[in-house]
Structure 1
């Protein structure tokens, strides 16, 4: 009986300690990753502004190839919403184009419903490095309410790797398309 009480006290104390720690942790996260793509800026931008294209390179969109997709509005314009529902890894949520600055910036908001409720802003920026090179920046930022802010350090540790993987897939996809366009 004493062992059970001790175990319960340790669990309760650990949870209490984590909740106290969460009071003092930051609530905002911000991760920015960049890559150079050997393709003209407008070509890269025109591809990125279509949310339906993002499942071709985005690691998180590939989490469940059998997820259900729903679309509302005109892709590539402010107000377009792509919703999904999938397995435990994919969860349930929606992504909306909030604002487009033609040729430069696509601002979106992701609203997760499952496995936990959260909102994040995802921005993709394009900048011409040369006539045939484009720097793409992928920015993920948002706020996690208490006590979910305990996970911010984990997010900021894992997001760069996942974002780099998505950007590398984007680079491969667009550079392959650019090579095919040069040969036709």
Structure 2
């Protein structure tokens, strides 16, 4: 079975305390997530607490947005957030996703990682598409937007 990992890192000129809440609360993702504008008619729903462990988010959108759910499974402020990301469309897959926040001299180093397995239709898809190339640019855009949102917040 083949696995993959997509990871991007950015140094943000803000303390982790300003950035962490923007990731730890799915309601805040509309301010920075690179996928929020893919489908203006995307339907969203939230479950559980507003933030932290148990917070949930579901979306359903056009072909490009697909559909799925996210749930925060670990939240260790201000260092780590782990999310169970499950896509239901265009094909079913579970992608454990992690955000880490580490202080630096210039602010905070934020790392966004997603792992997954290529199996079933995903295995065929992987023969033609490189997940790092496909998703990495979105992670870079998202991190840039997250930095801007954190600066507005500070």
- 1:1-184 → structure 2 map (5 Å cutoff): 27-130=2-105, 133-152=107-126, 153-178=129-154
In the comparison of the two structures, how many residue pairs are matched?
152
Structure 1 51/169 Cα, relative in aligned 2: closer, same or farther at 3 Å?
same
Shift of 1:147: 4.2
Shift of 1:30: 0.3
CA distance in 2, matches of 1:77, 1:173: 19
Q: What does the per-residue CA deviation read over 1:117-160, in whole Å, with 9 as the maximum and x for residues that have no partner?
A: 11101111111113x60111000111121342233352122221
Gaps of 5+ in 1: 1-25, 179-184
Shift of 1:62: 2.5
Shift of 1:69: 0.9
Q: Which structure features the higher share of strand residues?
A: 2
Secondary structure of 1:61's aligned partner: coil
Gaps of 5+ in 2: none
CA contact (8 A) 1:27 1:146 kept: no
CA distance in 1, matches of 2:153, 2:53: 26
**Bigger CA radius of gyration:** 1
Deviating runs (4+, > 4 A) in structure 1?
A: none
Q: What does the per-residue CA deviation read over 1:67-115, in whole Å, with 9 as the maximum and x for residues that have no partner?
A: 1111110021211110111111111111111111121001001111111
Q: CA RMSD in A?
A: 1.6
Q: Which structure features the higher share of helix residues?
A: 1
